[in-house]
A = this chain, B = another copy of it.
Amino acid sequence: MAKEKKLVESIIDMELDFPQWYTDVVKKADLTDYSTLKGCMIIRPYGYAIWELIQKELDRRFKETGHENVYMPMFIPESLLQKEKDHVEGFAPEVAWVTHGGETKLQERICVRPTSETLFCDHYANLIHSYRDLPKLYNQWCSVVRWEKTTRPFLRTTEFLWQEGHTAHATAEEAEEETVRMLNVYADFCHEYLAIPVIKGEKTAKERFAGAKATYTIESLMHDGKALQSGTSHNFGDGFARAFDIQYTDKENQLQYVHQTSWGMTTRLIGALIMVHGDNSGLVLPPKVAPTQVIIIPIAQHKEGVLEKAEALRESLSKCCRVKLDDSDKSAGWKFSEYEMKGVPLRLEVGPKDLEKNQAVIARRDTGEKIVVSLEELEEKIPVLLQEVQDTLLKKATERRDSKTYTATNMEEFERTLNETPGFVKAMWCGDQACEDAIKEKTAATSRCIPFEQEEISDTCVCCGKKAKHMVYWGRSY
């Protein structure tokens, strides 16, 4: 395919400077603005509309799998945060501490939640008494705070929006089932809705969530060959239950600890959308997550009948898609660039000549292809085209991901691959953290996951040469 014609000069080419390209797109597509407080972002209407679509669809999937929404306080007293040792070690260094309420110094300082395991555990200890109270399948939509040093819109910010599921189960088996179920919900959502292919697998012990027995992850690959952890699901076993004393009486009248899980997805997904689908004209949105799926742009709109027809089309198309009409007095060329930058999947042009022929011209954002459609067929054709764009984006992203996935059987190959052709490197690992550390030290790559679908690339660990235990996806990451 020919290189797409660059229509907007104000953003840099992604091949020249990918980080700058990302910053340009975030800004020029009106997704975020900087706030006075370093590291915090303002999510602007267009960015927030994408998040609302993500929320709505995820929430539907959570409810379909039996989960209920709740709201927990945003504050955690220090003593509560400290109840589970691994957890507090993982989070205490990066929380924001509140020390004063109004003019009064607090007796105990409290932190703004970095995540809410401790709050849910405290609540569950009050709620759960009998096997009849189980399972508890709760989710919460909120913002959390982690005091980050280096920040970047959507990818890493001091405050970000997310959902956090927290569940309690009678048995270890049920908790494990739930952990995997929700990872699959995440993976399906990414495939079907965001058109982002993901690798499902388990994190190594080193990369596990603070306090978890097992962390499962979905990993996606960005345009620049860097990996992005896109969602995680944790099995806590009964570790938190023991720390918080969450026990229930089973059917044999015996006291048992519950088994717990948690899982989360964040506004970082918007960063993934940008870096998986975007191009040198800006954002490219899969139709399912596009706030505007079709933008109608009248051509020579001062000519008689053009605006009336454009408005009539908007009205009739609003039954089959999210459609907008831009009848502002800006030039058609300016509008073309603007909606390309914003990644609107289909542009519908209608001008005097089209009206004469009773037709409109549709331009696809993903391929640039132009299609002439008779006005009568529009309502039928547009949903088909939107689905085609959706499918094409998933296909392209999968091909790109696959073409940037390599294997390595020794460290020299490993390092060269990452330096020359950034992407995922599949390589065998002995299971020893020393090798994981050495690889990171040498290549700046981390273990992304031990994929559920294992392959036998060689017999020996890529680092130490001892007998291999797992095939691992490695990569440099956001």
Distance in angstroms from A345 CB to nearest chain B CB is 20
Q: Which of A118-126, A256-264, A442-450 contacts B (4 or more CB under 8 A)?
A: A118-126
Quick one: closest B residue to A30, CB to CB? B127
Q: Report copies per complex.
A: 2
Q: Determine if A123 and B69 form an interchain contact, defined as CB atoms under 8 angstroms apart.
A: no
Given contacts A33-B123, A33-B127, A35-B123, contact A41 B73 (CB under 8 A): yes
- Interface residue from B71, B123, B159 paired with A74 (Cβ < 8 Å): B159
Does A72 touch B at the CB level, under 8 Å?
Answer: yes
Given A102-B94, A147-B101, CB of A42 within 8 Å of CB of B71? yes
Known contacts A42-B123, A102-B147, A127-B33; is A69 also within 8 Å of B49 by CB?
yes
Contact A126 B33 (CB under 8 A): yes
Residue of B nearest to A161 (CB): B71
Q: Which of A386-439 contact B (CB under 8 A)?
A: none
Q: Tell me if A346 is interfacial: C-beta within 8 Å of chain B.
A: no
A99 at the interface (CB under 8 A from B): yes
Residues of B near A142 (CB, < 8 A) are 143
Which single residue of chain B is at the shortest CB-CB distance from A108? B37
> Which among B45, B75, B80 is the interface contact of A159 at CB below 8 angstroms?
B75
Say yes or no: A73-B119 contact (C-beta < 8 A), given A97-B98, A147-B101: no
Contact B98 A138, beta carbon cutoff 8 Å: no
- Specify which chain B residues have a CB less than 8 angstroms from the CB of A92 in the assembled complex: 102
A177 in the interface (beta carbon within 8 A): no
Q: Which of A114-172 contact B (CB under 8 A)?
A: 119, 122-123, 126-127, 138, 142-143, 145, 147, 158-159, 161
Q: How far is the CA of A129 from the CA of B115 in the complex (A)?
A: 39
Which of B51, B70, B104 makes the CB contact (< 8 A) with A48? B70
Are A37 and B96 in touch, CB under 8 angstroms? no
Residues from chain B with a CB closer than 8 A to the CB of A313 are none
Out of B52, B70, B122, name the residue touching A45 (CB < 8 Å).
Answer: B70
Between A41, A69, A77, the greatest number of chain B beta carbons within 10 A of the residue's beta carbon is seen for: A69
B97 touches A68 (CB 8 A): no
Known: A35-B123, A71-B48, A73-B42. A102 touches B93 (CB 8 A): yes
- Interface status of A363 (Cβ within 8 A of chain B): no
Whether, in the assembled complex, A95 has its beta carbon less than 8 Å from a beta carbon of chain B, the answer is yes
Please name the residue on chain B nearest to A45 by beta carbon: B68
Chain A residues 15-42 with CB under 8 Å of chain B are 33, 35-37, 40-42
Q: Does A304 contact B (CB under 8 A)?
A: no
Q: Which of A37-65 contact B (CB under 8 A)?
A: 37, 40-45, 48-49, 51-52
Report the separation of the CA atoms of residues A101 and B103 in the bound assembly, to the nearest whole angstrom: 20
Contacts of A48 in B (CB 8 A): 68-71
Interface check A6, CB cutoff 8 A: no
Task: Judge whether B35 and A122 touch: CB under 8 Å.
Answer: yes
* Further pairs besides A96-B98, A98-B112: 13, Cβ < 8 Å: A33-B123, A35-B122, A40-B75, A42-B72, A43-B71, A45-B138, A49-B68, A71-B161, A73-B158, A74-B159, A75-B158, A99-B100, A101-B158
CB-based closest 6 A-B pairs: A40-B73, A101-B147, A45-B68, A43-B71, A97-B100, A102-B147
